[in-house]
Each structure stands twice: as C-alpha cells, then as structure tokens.
Amino acid sequence: MSIKSGYFHKQLHVDLTTGTVERRDLPEDLIERYIGGRGFGAKLVWENLKANDFKIDPLGPGNLLVIAPGPLTGCYVPSSGKNSFISISPATGLYGDSSIGGGFGVELRQSGHDCLSITGAAPELSILFIDDGDVSILPMPFLKGKTCLEAEGLIEKKLGTHALHVATIGVAGENRVRFACVNSDWSRNAGRTGIGAIMGSKNLKAIAVRGTKDLPVFDMNGLAEETRKAIKYMTDHKYFRLWQQQGLMNVIEYANTKGILPTYNFKATTFAAHDKINGETMLEGGYKIGDSACFMCPMCCGNICLVKNGKYAGTVTEGPEYESCAMLGSNLGIERFDAVLAGNRLCDELGIDTISTGSIIGAVIEGYEKGIISLSDLDGKGITWNDDDAILELMGRIARREGIGDILADGSLAIIKQWPEMQKVLLQVKGLEQSAYDSRVGTSMGLAYATSDIGAHHTRAWTIAKEIEEGAAWSAEDKVNLVMYHQAVRPLFDMLGVCRLPWIELGLSERHYEKFYGYVTGNQMTLEELLKLSDDVYNLTRRMNMRLGATRKEDSLPYKVTNAPVLTGPNAGKTLNKQEFERMLSLYYEKRGWDQNGAPPPEVEASF
Amino acid sequence: MSRKLAVIPEECSGCKMCELVCAIKHFGVNNPKKSAIRVLITYPHPVVRMPVVCSQCKKAPCEDVCPVDAISRRDGVVRLDTGLCISCFHCVESCPFGAIYAHDECEYPIKCDLCGGDPECVKHCPKGALRMVPEYALGESKRLNNVLSYSQMKEIEFVEKGEVQTLRYAEIGKEQS
C-alpha cells in the first residue's frame, strides 16, 4: 500500500539568520515511515543533529525547531486539533517535544504545509507570518516584554485580521527560561521541555498563520461515517457530561481519593483542602463561565473561569486543568481556588509551564523550610505553603530572571548545581520536573517517568489508574508490557495529530484510528503496523538521547520517590523499592531489545 | 410553521464542528473555511464564543442590495441563485451580522440554506448551542429565565416521598416589606 492522499508533501523551512524561506518536498518514504507530528519532528531533528556532529546548543541558533501537525490534524476526526513542537530541549539537553491543542495546527496545515522547521536566529525580535503561500519574517520589536495574551492581540491588530491563529511566547521565553512554553489561542500551551526558550533564543516572538486550503482526504464519505460512529460512542458515554462540565478538573477528586495528588511538594499525596480546589468548587463556587474546546472536540475539556470577587476579582483564565490545578494548588499548599486561577493566568501571561513552575516553587518552599535555601538566597523574601502572594511574586521573578529567579529559571539541573542538597527535594528525571501523579503507589508509573524520552512527564505512558486498579497482584511483566504499549500508542496520537483523551478517558477504541488514517491517506495500515512505526520513533529518540550522552543512569527516579515515604492517605508510608525498580528497568530493556545500558542495537541507528 | 436556526452563545465551546460539517455537506471538502457558519471567539475581554450564521431575515438587506435579484426568500429560507449571481459580493458586505462568507477558491458567496430544513450544524453540535426552534418560541428561554429570576420569590420546604424539596412561589397581592 502507499500514500494516496492526506499530505501536501511540503515542509516549510525558515532560516531566521539569513531570512530565507524554502519550501522543501517531503519525500514519500519519510511520510510513510514517520506519519507526521512527533515522527517528522524526531526525524528532522535527528538529521540536524547528525549534520552538526551531535553538538548542539539547545539555545543556540543551530538548534532546529520543528512544528508539526499530523495527517489527521484539522480533519473530520474527533479532537483533531493537535500539533507538536519538537527540538532539542534546553531543560534536558536531550530530545524534547510538547504538543498543543486548539486551532494553530489546523491553520498551519491549511496553509498547505505538513510541517514547519525553523533554524537560525533573527537579528531583532520578529514574528513569522504564514499567510497561505506567502511567508514573511516581520520585525516587531515593540512586542518585547509583552505577555502572551497581549502579544496575540497586538499581532492580530497589526496584521489587520482576526481570522488567524497565533502561537506566541511571553517574557519568560524571551528571557530563555528553560521551562518557558508556547501559548496559542490565548491560553493553550505547549508547556513542556522549554520550547518557548528556544523561540526566545531565535528572537522569534510569535508565529501567526492563516490558511484557507482544503485538507486532502482520500475518502470523505468513509471518514465521515467512521467519525460519526466514534462521536456517537463518545457522546453516549456515561462520563461524557461530566467531561463537558469539568474537563480534567474531575481528576482532582480521583487523585486525592487514590492518594496520588501532589501535595506540599509531594511530601503528601492527599490534600486536606482538596475540596477547595476541585471541580465541584469550580462549578458550585460560580467560577466557571464557559466551555472551551479544541478543534473538532465534543469533550470541550477547557474551562473558562472568572474570579468575581476578592483580591483576584477580574481574573479570567482558560483553565485550570488537572495538572495546573494540582501543581499550582495542592502542591504549593494553596487552599483557595481563586489563587489557583490567578497563578494559572499569570503563568499564561508570562509564558511559563505550570507543571515545572509548580514543581520548582514547591521545591524552593521545601528547600527553604529545610534550610537548604537561605533567606538571603531568596533575596530576603521568605516563602511558605499557601502563601499565594509570595508564590505569584516568585513566578514573576523567575520569568524576569530577577534575583533567585535567575537561577530557578534555568530549571532543576541548574538548581541542583547551585544547591546540591536540592537533589533530594526536586522531583525530576533527566532535568524535566515530574508531572502531577505520584509514582510511589507502584512501579509502573515510576518506570513510565524514568523511561520517558523527554523526562518525567506522563505524556508517554500513564499507567497509574491501572496500577491502582490491579494492586499488588499485578505482575512485573504485565506492568512493563503496559508501559511499553502506552509508549507506542500515546506517541502515535502525537504523530497522527489528534488528542488521546477520547481514547484514554472515554475508552474510544484505538481501532478507529487505523480507519481514520486509512480514510485520510488511502494507505490501509493495521493498528499494529502503525504502532510499529511509533515504536521505531521511540527507538530513534532513544538513540538520539544516547548520542547526546544519556545512559541507564539517566533512566532513574527522583530521590523522593525511592527515599521519602508518603506522609498521608491510602499510600502513607510507601516508597518505591529501588531494587525492584532496577529489576523492572532491566526487564524493560530486554523486552525492547535494548542492551542493559539502554541502548538500542546499532543496526537500529543505521536504519534511520 | 416557520422554524428558525437559533444560536445560544452561552453554550458554544468553540470546537467548530459546525463549520466542518457545513463545508463537507455543501462542498464535499475538509475545509472549515468554506462553511456558511463561523465561530467567532473573543478573549479575554469580553469572553464570547459565538457561531455567526444567516438569520434568514424576512426583510433581508442582502436581497435588497443584490443588483441582479439573485437573492430571494422562499419557504423561510433566503436563497442565493448561483445561476443569476454575478459574484459582486455586495450581499456579503450588506449583511448586518457578517453572516455571508467569501473564500478565494469559491466563485459565489457562501450562504446558509438551512440544508433543506434539517441543518447539519444543528445535528452535530455537541453542546446543543445550535437549535431549530419554531419562530414563536424564539426568546422563550430568556423569558423563562427572566421570570425565574424574579426577585421577590419566596421559598418553602416540604417533604415528598421522604425527601426534602423546595418550592418557590410569588405571593400575590403583597408588597415585599
């Protein structure tokens, strides 16, 4: 079988140093093997690494940033508004990617490009404007220091149209904060791995896109029929209404009940004030004023919230979702929902990742409590749990690199370098701060974090619900199998350019996706064949990380996970057994066909 | 009985499924920019998500402005006859709601025809933000909400089948003291 439709066969390549724009042909075999999204990104970043003899400064002009939707992005497929940003991460120095929902990726595809790659650095702060076939680099120095939200409005005004999508960085990205994010559609974020800092290092404040082209679809009728079946399944699901009402905010209660909710920098995993920051509070407290959905998504998990009174009155934010609410709420001991909303809004404005920000500030509070960080380190401004004023103020100092903010802005690895004892306090893998699911409840989630190619993020594998369901009887082999399956299927969604939530949250069968892919591209592949392609990309990013210096040692767990027992709740007293973890890691390597150092066989590299 | 396409912006999530199903139905292509309905989003001030679509006006400005009489209203639908249309796009500019659209690749203005009475957008909106309602029912939910928010309402609690219920009522003839 071969690709008959679904692609424009075009890669837009921009060199900001020389100001040149090139429309390159995407070869057939690359499209077939790497599908799109993260697949294209990994391949193009790999080529760039090879061309630079594997010596790349993530914040140097030579680092290639790839922005890639997938063949299903923007198509009549449920929740098809996804788009990936791929590069070498300034947080980890290794492969990094982050995806974003909304409509940016749809617009990018409609401009007639399958992916966009950016290299070099502009001489002054600029934006890239893709207006269908017309591509221009426009200097806009007046955007300096503007928040993401301000910048998006100013760009629309300057370009004279509302009918476009903008992805922008905030002051944190300009200042190369290593966990700066890219913000689009006002408050959707590609949050992780510091993509915003890469744009900042390239003097690229924003990318604006307007696209009007038909998206190529091989069999529109077949696709429509399949999608209607899938949407019918989703809307009939017993939890569908709950999703529309609360979005991911319903997870706060689940996480608290099951004892996996990050609380006081993961010292505890249940939060006494959980009911002050949960989905019920959002609804009953009158905070939620509207729903927000990504393109083609019936689930509309975005919550638009407004604080109507008190010191944060007037704060509007899209969010929070679970991760943001947990990391900026319970993880910092925040006991009031309006402060969580204010923190979420501030992160959106500054352009910093809510997960890393919540994790690092939590660690600072604990480090200060333990005497690792002194009051003078903190520029004389003490900080403690539930101290929303000090916490919000510190976010600003991080983004602007003021005082201690200048060190914190360089992320976990720099913090550990400055205060080695912080290694025991920070929760990170490979330099990326851990997301909001505690992994001491069981080894599979620990293995998921440790072996994720971008660091401690749940995007690659999220096995914790199954772990809790199965309990102690769940065998090591089954755990490894599930982690590996997740690491194939979840990135596959990022390659196809669609959201994984219909699958993971509502149980929409993955089988639909082989049909969606077939109807769009005309290339009939089975799910197993697609998963194999996703696994190939996993091998590629692994190989890339090894070439950049990662070894088995980097597939390790945060100190706390193996050494600090959980203080409260159903998992009180638990740590993750290090020996058991190492045994599982060995088994994982073996099953993947990697050696005990975690390296895929050399012939794998040759095939890329 | 004349039925109208009613838009309930408070319910809209901005997913744009209406745009895509409209374009697929009328043009057979996967392109939300070729639809006769568009969701406009303003954020953060003010927060509005609102599908903009033809109201099928009884006294339609687009009909008045058309120089070749290509637009006429029949059976409750303001129709554009592409056989007569000269693509001057005056109708697009004349619509007070901006509910007629243009696309580079389309020869004629893109205008809602209510899909023959059973609009795709209404069928597929996952939030129920688009509805076909009888003309006499327009504004009904606003009327009802207005009545329910009547400020001098009183409440009593009572027990029905073992459960405590609340009944609200307006006491007639007595001024609120």
Tell me the pLDDT tens digit for each residue of B34-70.
999 999 998 888 889 999 999 999 999 999 999 999 9
Nearest CA-CA distance, residue B82 and chain A, Å: 22
Could A296 and B43 be called an inter-chain contact, meaning their C-beta atoms sit closer than 8 Å? no
**Per-residue pLDDT at B174:** 60
Size of interface A-B (CB pairs under 8 A): 90
Distance, in Å, from the CA atom of A589 to the CA atom of A526, rounded to the nearest integer, reads 26
Domain contains A1: no
Distance, in Å, from the CA atom of A380 to the CA atom of A77, rounded to the nearest integer, reads 53
Could A186 and B47 be called an inter-chain contact, meaning their C-beta atoms sit closer than 8 Å? no
The verdict on A281 and A300 lying in the same domain is: yes
Which member of A103, A220, A306 has the closest CB to residue B30? A220
Distance, in Å, from the CA atom of A441 to the CA atom of A444, rounded to the nearest integer, reads 9
Could A300 and B24 be called an inter-chain contact, meaning their C-beta atoms sit closer than 8 Å? no
β partners of residue A120: none
Among chain A residues, CA nearest to B23 = A214
In this structure, CATH architecture of domain B3-137? 2-Layer Sandwich (3.30)
Which member of B17, B34, B44 has the closest CB to residue A296? B17
Among chain B residues, CA nearest to A302 = B13
Cβ atoms B131, B10 nearer than 8 A: no
Phi–psi pair at B114, nearest 5 degrees: 55, 20
Domain contains A218: no
Question: Which ipTM was obtained for this model?
Answer: 0.94
Distance, in Å, from the CA atom of B140 to the CA atom of B143, rounded to the nearest integer, reads 5
**Per-residue pLDDT at A184:** 96
**Per-residue pLDDT at B140:** 85
**Per-residue pLDDT at B167:** 87
B-chain CB neighbours of A209 within 8 Å are none
The verdict on A261 and A122 lying in the same domain is: no
Q: Is residue A319 very low, low, confident or very high in pLDDT (cuts 50, 70, 90)?
A: confident
**Per-residue pLDDT at A161:** 92
Mean pLDDT, rounded, for A287-308: 96
Cβ atoms A69, A499 nearer than 8 A: no
Phi–psi pair at A408, nearest 5 degrees: -60, -35
Domain contains A2: no
The verdict on A278 and A371 lying in the same domain is: yes
Q: Is the pLDDT assigned to residue A528 strictly greater than 70?
A: yes
Could A296 and B16 be called an inter-chain contact, meaning their C-beta atoms sit closer than 8 Å? yes
Domain of A373: which CATH number? 1.10.569.10
Domain contains A231: no
Task: Tell me the residue range of the domain where A98 lies.
Answer: 10-210
| Token pair listed for B47 | 């927060």
Kindly write down the DSSP assignment for every residue of A111-154, as one continuous string.
TT-SEEEEES--SSSEEEEEETTEEEEEE-GGGTT--HHHHHHH
Domain contains A197: yes
Domain contains A540: yes
Q: Is the pLDDT assigned to residue B176 strictly greater than 60?
A: no
B-chain CB neighbours of A214 within 8 Å are 29-31, 34, 105
The verdict on A451 and A419 lying in the same domain is: no
The verdict on A476 and A516 lying in the same domain is: yes
Best of A7, A72, A73, A76 to mutate (most B CBs within 10 Å, chain B) = A76
- What is the tens place of the pLDDT at every residue in A117-133? 999 999 999 999 999 99
Q: Is residue B2 very low, low, confident or very high in pLDDT (cuts 50, 70, 90)?
A: confident
| Token pair listed for A261 | 């909710």
The verdict on A275 and A421 lying in the same domain is: yes
Q: Is the pLDDT assigned to residue A284 strictly greater than 60?
A: yes
Q: Is residue A491 very low, low, confident or very high in pLDDT (cuts 50, 70, 90)?
A: very high
Domain of A490: which CATH number? 1.10.599.10
Cβ atoms A66, A45 nearer than 8 A: yes
Domain contains A227: no
All residues at 6 or more sequence positions from A441 whose CB lies less than 8 Å from its CB, including other chains: A258, A259, A260, A269, A464, A467, A468, A571, A574
B62 interface with A at CB cutoff 8 Å: no
Counted domains in chain A: 3
Q: What is the C-alpha R_g of chain A?
A: 22
Domain boundaries, chain B: 3-137
Query: Could you tell me what percent of chain A has a pLDDT over 70?
Result: 100
Helix axes A476-496, A578-592, angle to 10 degrees: 60
Phi–psi pair at A211, nearest 5 degrees: -130, 140
Label residue A403 exposed, middle or buried (CB < 10 Å: 0-12, 13-18, 19+): middle
Mean pLDDT, rounded, for A42-65: 97
Q: For tokens 């009918």, what's the residue? A: A163
Domain boundary among A426, A448, A483: A426
The verdict on A273 and A405 lying in the same domain is: yes
Length of chain A counted residue by residue: 608
The verdict on A18 and A163 lying in the same domain is: yes
Q: Is the pLDDT assigned to residue A460 strictly greater than 60?
A: yes
The verdict on A68 and A204 lying in the same domain is: yes
**Among A545, A550, A556, CA closest to A605:** A545
Among chain B residues, CA nearest to A317 = B44
**Per-residue pLDDT at A1:** 64
Domain contains A108: yes
The verdict on A422 and A437 lying in the same domain is: no
Domain boundary among A393, A411, A426: A426
Could B31 and A215 be called an inter-chain contact, meaning their C-beta atoms sit closer than 8 Å? yes
Interface of B with A in 137-176 (CB under 8 A): none
Among chain B residues, CA nearest to A304 = B47
B28 interface with A at CB cutoff 8 Å: yes
Could B16 and A304 be called an inter-chain contact, meaning their C-beta atoms sit closer than 8 Å? no
**Per-residue pLDDT at B1:** 64
> Which pairing describes strands B163-169 and B154-160: parallel, antiparallel, or unpaired?
antiparallel
The verdict on A200 and A338 lying in the same domain is: no
Which member of B14, B30, B45 has the closest CB to residue A215? B30
Among chain B residues, CA nearest to A217 = B30
Which member of B15, B24, B126 has the closest CB to residue A224? B24
Cα A447 to the chain's mean position, in Å? Answer: 18
Q: Is residue B175 very low, low, confident or very high in pLDDT (cuts 50, 70, 90)?
A: low
